[in-house]
Amino acid sequence: MASYGVLALVPPLLAIVLAMTTRQVLVSLFAGVWAGALVVAQWNPIAATALTMDWLVAVVRTPFNTKFIVLILFMGAGAAFIYRSGGILALERWIGSRISTARESQILTWLIGVFIFFDSYTSTVVTGNATRELAQDADSSREMHAYVLDSTTAPVTTFGPVSNWIGYQVSMIIAGLEAARVSAAELGTTPFGLFLQSIPWNIYCFMAFFMVGFITITQRFFGPMLDAEWRARTTGDTIADGATPLSDVSNDVGDPSRANPSLLNFFGPIAVLLAVGLGSMWYLGGGYKPGVDIATALQETDVAMGLLHGAFAFMVSGFVGALAYGTMDLEGATDTIVDGFKTMNIALAIIVLAWGIGMAAEKVGTADFIVTTLVGSGVPAGFLPLLVFLAAMFVAFTTGTSWGTMAILTPVAIPLGYNLAGAAVLPVLVGVLFGGAIWGDHSSPISDTTVMSSIFAGSDHIDHVTTQIPFAATAAGVTIVMLVLYAVGLRSPVVALPLATVLTLGAVVVLNKLDTRRKGLPEVMPRADAVDEADREAAANGTLSLPAAATSYDYLSLVPVAAVGIVLLYLSLVFVFAALGG
């Protein structure tokens, strides 16, 4: 491989700078790929353009990536059936009568987000549409609804256990190992096994997810979100004066069928996806053979093909359910498949260009250059996870894409970690890199999922960003503390995760107390029905005296108990899943 020196930094740096200045992620990623080709083609723009096309075709033709492209299309179609067949409408009717307060609507949004663990776009679309009217009727602010959508989506889908995120993240690990010129077999694992080992170190995602649940259940807010919720509860204005909600793109997804909506059309396809996806991965890994345990089977499996089988079954079960219950005719069901494919167009464009910039970085030797530079600089190996987390935060915030960030940094971080600290640090680096990428996705105003959360919550986009950033920053701050502790010797996730949880929940309580005291507001947000109509003006002026009952909530009622129970089951599944990585 030719040595390009400092020019090896051109592809990722150009993508970052252009994303910061143009706010156009797709154009920026393409420019990064083309710039890498320009360096390799010795500054011949025509040859660089041809080489760019070759690289994009090459990444699409890779067997793993080809399977992934098909499975993400199937995911989009399956999700479209959940919504358009009336499954989401049935869920609204079933649960709607049990939701009477803003707190319950927020907990429900968090809970449904746990069920939609297979795709982030789908989670935002389905969950947002399912709970938007309930939140509006219960006087929950649009900003809070958008936050719950945004900060539940990526943390859940990044862990799976069956999701297109897993397939993509494993493909990034493969790219990183190739850049390090080391095989997974030499490390005594597989790319999927390395992903499983990284889950406990994705501290940011766990903390972001826990914060959503803790804040919704306790109703302890701080920062701009405190003001937004106080406005909504005391005045009934779920959106601020002068704010402009982003347009609702429900028409792009299609209106749900009102002909015989059934809960089976919501839960059935999800159950099929989980059963077929996990079952297929177990089978493809040789789990049916004598002497092959589940852990070994899932480490040795073809994860892309297993997910593809699950995604196809997901789509087919939605198709069959729509016809069986008469919610759609054959033509409508066929159109739903095509429309579902269309919802994934932007995601596919980002994915292909992300793979392309990874190849460009490989061809110009980005990883080799950074590894050589940092190894020679004497950076303490223990601080490497912290540096990778901060780098991922910066890149994701400025580019607005977590997947693009993973594509830029994974082929750099894995070789760097392997050369500086050995194989033991790789699960840590992968976990914190993915977490840092998702923090940027939560905080960046140009993030696609942040924009979609604003759209499907009916929120002003800038209001969503400004109210969410303090919450995301809190989870990130705790993560940074834990990575500093890692640098000085705390190397067990069994200790790190519980400690991080305590710090996160404690930080929420302290920040809530400080901000409510400063603003003269109650620590626990009151129920809207406890604020009498005649007293709303006094409440808005901060002169309303609320009875204790107004800020008292039943923590053992159906909604919070069911939510906590289901979330604990989900987390148990995630940690069992992670334990299979060894």
Region 97-111 average pLDDT: 86
Contact indicator for 513, 406 with CB cutoff of 8 Å: no
| pLDDT confidence tier of residue 527, bands split at 50, 70 and 90 | confident
Across the strands, what pairs with 245?
460
Tell me the two tokens of residue 288.
């049916």
| pLDDT confidence tier of residue 118, bands split at 50, 70 and 90 | low
Long-range contacts of 35-40 (CB under 8 A, 24+ apart): 35/10, 35/11, 35/360, 36/10, 36/11, 36/357, 36/360, 36/361, 36/363, 36/364, 37/360, 37/363, 39/4, 39/7, 39/10, 39/364, 40/2, 40/363, 40/364
Residue-wise pLDDT for 241-274, tens only, equals: 887 775 544 555 567 777 777 888 888 888 888 7
Quick check: is 48 in a domain? yes
Region 511-536 average pLDDT: 82
Quick check: is 379 in a domain? yes
Tell me the two tokens of residue 560.
């919070």
Q: In a 3-state reduction of DSSP, which class is residue 460?
A: strand
Kindly tell me if the per-residue pLDDT of 143 is higher than 80. yes
Which of 94-98, 392-396, 464-468, 552-556 is predicted least confidently? 94-98
Region 513-518 average pLDDT: 95
Among 17-21, 158-162, 548-552, 570-574, the range with the most confident prediction by mean pLDDT is: 570-574
Which residues, in sequence order, are CB contacts of 419 under 8 Å at separation 6+? 180, 371, 375
Q: Whose CA is closest to 360, among 6, 19, 48, 55? A: 55
Kindly tell me if the per-residue pLDDT of 542 is higher than 60. no
Region 40-46 average pLDDT: 93
Region 311-327 average pLDDT: 91
Which residues, in sequence order, are CB contacts of 441 under 8 Å at separation 6+? 154, 396, 400, 401, 402, 447, 449, 450
Q: Whose CA is closest to 316, among 299, 294, 337, 332? A: 337
For 72-94, letters b (16+ CB in 10 Å) and e give bbbbbbbbbbbbbbbbbbbbbee
Return the pLDDT at 49.
95
Return the pLDDT at 454.
79
Answer whether 0.85 is exceeded by the pTM.
no
| Number of domains the chain contains | 1
Mean pLDDT over all residues of the chain? Answer: 84
Return the pLDDT at 218.
93
Radius of gyration of the chain (CA): 24
Return the pLDDT at 544.
58
Region 323-333 average pLDDT: 89
Residue-wise pLDDT for 334-380, tens only, equals: 988 988 888 777 768 877 887 787 788 778 887 677 767 766 666 78
Percent with pLDDT over 70 in the chain: 89
Residue-wise pLDDT for 452-493, tens only, equals: 787 777 788 778 888 999 999 999 999 999 999 999 988 999
Contact indicator for 347, 72 with CB cutoff of 8 Å: yes
Quick check: is 188 in a domain? yes
Structural domain span for residue 557? 5-244+256-580
Return the pLDDT at 458.
78
Angle of helix 87-96 versus helix 120-137 axis, rounded to 10: 40
Report how far residue 581's alpha carbon sits from residue 565's, in angstroms, rounded to the nearest whole number: 25
Return the pLDDT at 534.
43
Quick check: is 250 in a domain? no
Backbone angles phi, psi at 344, to 5 degrees: -100, 5
What does DSSP assign to residue 119? -
Return the pLDDT at 368.
72
Report how far residue 254's alpha carbon sits from residue 80's, in angstroms, rounded to the nearest whole number: 8
Among 50-64, 232-246, 332-346, 518-532, the range with the most confident prediction by mean pLDDT is: 50-64
Quick check: is 249 in a domain? no
Across the strands, what pairs with 460?
245
Which residues, in sequence order, are CB contacts of 330 under 8 Å at separation 6+? 323
